[in-house]
């Protein structure tokens, strides 16, 4: 079989082969690589497509359970909701595509490339949701709709994600991942021509992966260093770059993400910077929990960083299942379940004891904010030398703005860890609060869900996570 190699317009450095010096020159000056640690990587990767948030066995299991009626009621309910989503019906049924020549996110004075990212944001969600429905139901209408979104965007969006505003990085990450995940689910559809599929993958590499890589290496050249940016900026970029690497079968891209996340990332998306100080559960469960890099910020963003991390771990895990000797690809287990401990912290600090799906009623499990364990962050800790960015400010306490709002993806952590009680106990950690969170909002839904029953809304926060994980991961 002929192999197609997808090349980026920006040179992708294979860190495993990089000759390390203390600094690497680039268009912004130099990047300090003195902390670089070369992990062990296998010489080859086994690609078992589709490999995204879910793998071959997940699709087979869910498809069979729905067909024979044995699926849990919550799974059936989420399938019904997905069929009625705003992004699988109406203007997003696939008959109309809202593709644009460029994608800009953020305030800009540019008259050539004004902000317009919402078109890509919504169309990417539609492509993803139609692709997921096709994988589960086999209905041709959803395959046709998904491909119309993917092919049209690849043909029309010739400029790609612009550089006219710093927030464009977020569009390259969030929408890059969503488009790529949709493409990965559709890659085995016989109706997608080789020419169109190849063109789509090349578009993803050139227009999204190139932006992801550039940001992760240089962080827009900010003078106070790469930790100027909140962790979620790195997280969406890593997630997009990993998924596109899988889509294009680019081992160098996978190796880059593994190296960055596990050992050597210069920004706040490296696992030990994303997951900060460890604390004892103040409610006495005996679990160790861990504040996140954004825990002193509003909880909408703190949860976003956690939920995007869940997606990153999940995508990596599906690839890890086919490559079990690639140890650092097991993101869920890295550093004694560090990401899990952050998720427990997020769940514990945001949960109320009421029963409603929006988590709006009852008292917080920790009612008094000052009782939430939190290690203060001094002014300038992330941005030495000064910056007008919010991260320069001191964070003395847990951030209680937007506390209690919910986001989808705790189902991911519960699915992965629910059978690992002894392993987690050995490390003094667990999933007590993750389970409460996931059980409470199930079925978790996603962007466009009927009635917006979880309160995700219609702004960018609803699209930072792809959602709909109950359908694919919940098992009784």
pLDDT in tens, 419-436: 999 999 999 999 999 999
H or E, element range at 402: none
Query: Within 10 A of 130 (CB to CB), how many other CB atoms are there?
Result: 31
Which contiguous run of DSSP H or E holds residue 26? strand 23-26
Compute the distance between CA of residue 203 and CA of residue 158 in angstroms, rounded to an integer. 8
Q: What confidence category does residue 227 fall into, taking pLDDT thresholds of 50, 70 and 90?
A: confident
pTM for the full predicted model: 0.93
Let me know: does 429 contact 287? Beta carbons within 8 Å. Answer: yes
Q: Which helix (H) or strand (E) holds 43?
A: none
Tokens standing for 313? Answer: 């771990």
**Cα(383)–Cα(14) distance, rounded to whole angstroms?**
28
Task: Decide: 188 and 134 in contact? Cβ < 8 Å.
Answer: no
Beta bridge partners of 395: 377
Model confidence pLDDT, tens digit, residues 101-129: 999 999 899 999 999 999 999 999 999 99
Residue 459's Cβ-count burial label (10 Å; 0-12, 13-18, 19+) is: exposed
13 pLDDT tier (thresholds 50, 70, 90) = very low
Alpha-carbon distance of 203 to 155, in angstroms, equals 9
Contact 299, 291 (CB under 8 A): no
Q: Are the beta carbons of 75 and 411 closer than 8 angstroms?
A: no
Q: What pLDDT does 343 receive? A: 98
User: Is residue 27's pLDDT more than 80?
Assistant: no
């Amino acid at each position: 079989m002929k192999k197609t190699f997808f090349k980026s317009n920006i040179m992708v450095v294979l860190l495993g082969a990089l000759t390390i010096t203390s600094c690497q020159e680039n268009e912004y000056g130099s990047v300090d690589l003195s902390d670089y640690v070369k992990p062990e990587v296998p010489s080859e990767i086994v690609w078992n497509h589709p490999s995204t948030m879910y793998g071959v066995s997940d699709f087979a299991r869910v498809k069979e359970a729905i067909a024979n009626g044995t699926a849990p009621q919550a799974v059936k309910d989420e399938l019904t909701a997905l069929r009625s989503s705003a992004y699988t019906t109406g203007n997003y049924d696939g008959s109309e595509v809202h593709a644009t020549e460029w994608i800009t996110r953020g305030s800009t004075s540019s008259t050539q490339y004004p902000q317009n990212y919402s078109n890509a944001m919504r169309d990417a969600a539609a492509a993803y949701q139609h692709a997921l429905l096709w994988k589960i139901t086999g209905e041709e209408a959803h395959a046709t709709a998904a491909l119309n979104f993917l092919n049209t965007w690849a043909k029309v969006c010739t400029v790609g994600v612009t550089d006219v505003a710093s927030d464009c990085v977020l569009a390259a990450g969030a929408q890059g991942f969503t488009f790529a995940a949709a493409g990965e689910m559709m890659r085995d559809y016989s109706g997608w021509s080789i020419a169109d599929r190849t063109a789509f993958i090349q578009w993803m590499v050139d227009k999204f992966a190139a932006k992801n890589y550039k940001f992760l290496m240089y962080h827009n050249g900010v003078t106070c260093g790469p930790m100027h940016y909140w962790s979620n900026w790195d997280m969406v970029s890593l997630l997009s770059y990993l998924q596109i690497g899988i889509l294009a079968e680019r081992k160098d891209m996978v190796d880059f993400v593994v190296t960055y996340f596990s050992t050597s990332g210069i920004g706040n998306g490296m696992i030990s910077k994303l997951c900060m100080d460890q604390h004892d559960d103040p409610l006495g469960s005996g679990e160790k929990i861990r504040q996140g890099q954004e825990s002193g910020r509003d909880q909408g963003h703190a949860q976003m960083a956690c939920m995007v991390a869940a997606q990153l771990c999940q995508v990596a895990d599906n690839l890890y299942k086919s490559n079990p000797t690639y140890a650092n690809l097991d993101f869920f287990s890295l550093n004694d379940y560090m990401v899990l401990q952050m998720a427990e912290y997020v769940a514990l600090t945001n949960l109320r004891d009421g029963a409603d799906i929006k988590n709006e009623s009852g008292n917080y499990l920790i009612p008094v904010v000052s009782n939430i364990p939190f290690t203060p962050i001094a002014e300038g800790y992330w941005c030495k030398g000064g910056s007008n960015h919010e991260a320069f400010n001191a964070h003395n306490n847990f951030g209680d703005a937007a506390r209690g709002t919910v986001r989808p993806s705790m189902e991911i952590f519960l699915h992965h860890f629910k059978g690992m009680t002894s392993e987690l106990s050995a490390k003094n950690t667990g999933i007590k609060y993750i389970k409460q969170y996931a059980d409470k909002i199930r079925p978790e839904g996603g962007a466009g869900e009927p009635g917006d029953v979880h309160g995700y809304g219609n702004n960018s926060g609803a699209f930072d996570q792809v959602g709909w994980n109950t359908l694919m991961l919940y098992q009784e």
